[in-house]
Amino acid sequence: MSNSIRLGVIGGGQLGSLLCVAAKKLNIETVILSDDKDGPAQKFCDHFIYSKYENNEKIREFISKVDIVTYEFENIPIDFLNLIEKEKKVLPNPKINKIAQNRKLEKTFVNELGINTTDWTYIKTAEDIKKNQHLLPGLLKSNTLGYDGKGQFVLNSLDDVKQDWCFTSDYILEKKVNLKKEISVIITRYSDGTMLYYEPIENIHKNQILHKSKIPADISEKIFKDAIDSAKKIAANLSYIGVLTVEYFITANGKLLVNELAPRFHNSGHLTIEAFNISQFENHVRAICNLNSMQIKKISNAEMRNVLGFEIQKYKKRNLKKNEFFYDYQKKEPRDGRKMGHLTVLKD
Ligand code: AMP
């Protein structure tokens, strides 16, 4: 029997695909709107609409086909989300999206809740960097539209600020921290205020791209508790509905700092598909479609490894053991560093 909810999803990548699979399990129809005509999620959704954000006719078709709208990535123009929201509910609320798209707003919001981030400042000119030398060595990050290390420059000293940089957009300068570990907390908040969370997940990056995620994270009880508490505080303060990911740094001297917020399910949460009774994707669908919440139970410890670029060819031929689960995102072309699939290994 159908739940008669038609869920619109903006974005047609692997996160969209995995969301559609979870929705199908709950008898919810999915309609993808993607600006990539090759978006792999077209193989997993019920309807696929290829359109640029400016194509009014296609956008109208999308809006008319759905009851509620969500998204698989946060860098969607706010005006576009607001336009959709005039007619159909968008969850998580676009106001949250505005914060998560802008590092200055995001860090200010987190700091105002009394939660620590790296030391940082807002940068408009080379002169601003000079005035904030105490933050060097540091990372200059574009204030908007950055992900997976894109739009970032390492500044070891003022000599790294090149004469020809013209600062056409705005940045933040963040002190480089001596990282011991990175973890993420994936939390789901339902409209009645119920919050369900997975234990912190430990993340290992290579070249600023997620390489591996594992549970349990090798962290102290205090860090475990503090990470969950601050994720709850953030979700509650945003009156959030859906899945929220909070990424953290743990410094060499044991401090917990929020790195960034993702108003969505997350690459580090792929292991929740097999390691828990309810995955991050199912939780997101349940929360935004106002279905009942179900207690999260761990089935197994696990490790997830991203399969990048041409590695996919080797993985496609691999004989899987019974504790191994391989996902091929079915992207048309492998490219160096492109996320092509993942492998989850259950550990006990
Ligand atoms: P981001 O896109 O800001 O999440 O950065 C991508 C990755 O770069 C992070 O997951 C870290 O591994 C690394 N990184 C970012 N900012 C810092 C920092 N302030 N200090 C040390 N490493 C960082």
Instruction: Scan for tokens 């860098």, then name that residue.
Output: 75
Residues 243 and 304 in one domain: yes
Which ligand 1 atom is nearest residue 146's CA?
2
pLDDT at 227: 98
Q: Is 100 a member of any domain?
A: no
Mean predicted confidence (pLDDT) in 66-71: 98
Residues 48 and 146 in one domain: no
Residues 75 and 50 in one domain: yes
Residues 191 and 309 in one domain: yes
Task: Work out the number of other CB atoms within 10 angstroms of the CB of residue 340.
Answer: 25
Residues 342 and 216 in one domain: yes
Query: Lowest-confidence range among 24-33, 46-55, 282-291?
Result: 46-55
The residue count for the chain = 348
Residues 255 and 327 in one domain: yes
Q: What percent of the chain has pLDDT over 90?
A: 89
Does position 1 have pLDDT exceeding 50, yes or no?
no
In testing the pocket of ligand 1, which one of 132, 147, 249 has its CB within 8 Å of the most ligand atoms? 249
Residues 151 and 183 in one domain: no
Q: Give yes or no for a cis peptide into 40 (omega within 30° of 0).
A: no
pLDDT at 256: 98
Residues 230 and 323 in one domain: yes
Tokens of 205: 């990056």
Per-residue confidence at 348, pLDDT binned at 50, 70, 90? confident
Cβ of 210 below 6 Å from ligand 1: no
Cβ of 180 below 6 Å from ligand 1: no
- Total domains in the chain come to 3
Task: Work out the number of other CB atoms within 10 angstroms of the CB of residue 317.
Answer: 6
Residues 183 and 171 in one domain: no
Which ligand 1 atom is nearest residue 103's CA?
3
Q: Is 263 a member of any domain?
A: yes
Which ligand 1 atom is nearest residue 205's CA?
12
Tokens of 324: 């191994």
Q: Whose CA is nearest to atom 12 of ligand 1?
A: 208
**HEC string for 103-134:** HHHHHHHHHHCCCCECCEEEECCHHHHHHCHH
Does position 148 have pLDDT exceeding 70, yes or no?
no
The helix or strand, by DSSP H or E, that contains position 339, with its residue range, turns out to be strand 339-346
Q: Look at residues 71, 66, 73, 72 and name the one whose alpha carbon lies nearest to residue 88.
A: 66
Q: Which amino acid is at 18?
A: L
Q: Is 283 a member of any domain?
A: yes
Q: Is 103 a member of any domain?
A: no
With beta carbons less than 8 A apart as the criterion, state whether 184 and 231 touch.
no
Q: Whose CA is nearest to atom 17 of ligand 1?
A: 176
Q: Is 57 a member of any domain?
A: yes
Tell how far CA 44 is from the center of its chain: 20
Could you give the CA distance from residue 6 to residue 32 in angstroms, rounded to a whole number?
11
Task: Domain of residue 12: give its range.
Answer: 6-90
Q: Is 278 a member of any domain?
A: yes
Decide which of 50, 73, 90 is a domain's last residue.
Answer: 90
Residues 193 and 303 in one domain: yes
Q: Is 33 a member of any domain?
A: yes
Q: Is 114 a member of any domain?
A: no
pLDDT at 192: 97
Residues 153 and 130 in one domain: yes
Reported as a single tens digit per residue, the pLDDT across 160-208 is 887 777 777 899 999 999 999 999 999 999 999 999 999 999 999 999 8
Q: Look at residues 305, 299, 240, 241 and name the one whose alpha carbon lies nearest to residue 272.
A: 299
The helix or strand, by DSSP H or E, that contains position 31, with its residue range, turns out to be strand 29-34
Output the domain CATH number for residue 15. Answer: 3.40.50.20
Mean predicted confidence (pLDDT) in 211-235: 98
Region of 337 on the Ramachandran plot (φ > 0 left; ψ -120 to 50 alpha; else beta): left
Average pLDDT of the chain is 95
Residues 320 and 228 in one domain: yes
Reported as a single tens digit per residue, the pLDDT across 111-138 is 999 999 999 999 999 899 999 999 999 9
Reported as a single tens digit per residue, the pLDDT across 299-319 is 999 999 999 999 999 999 999
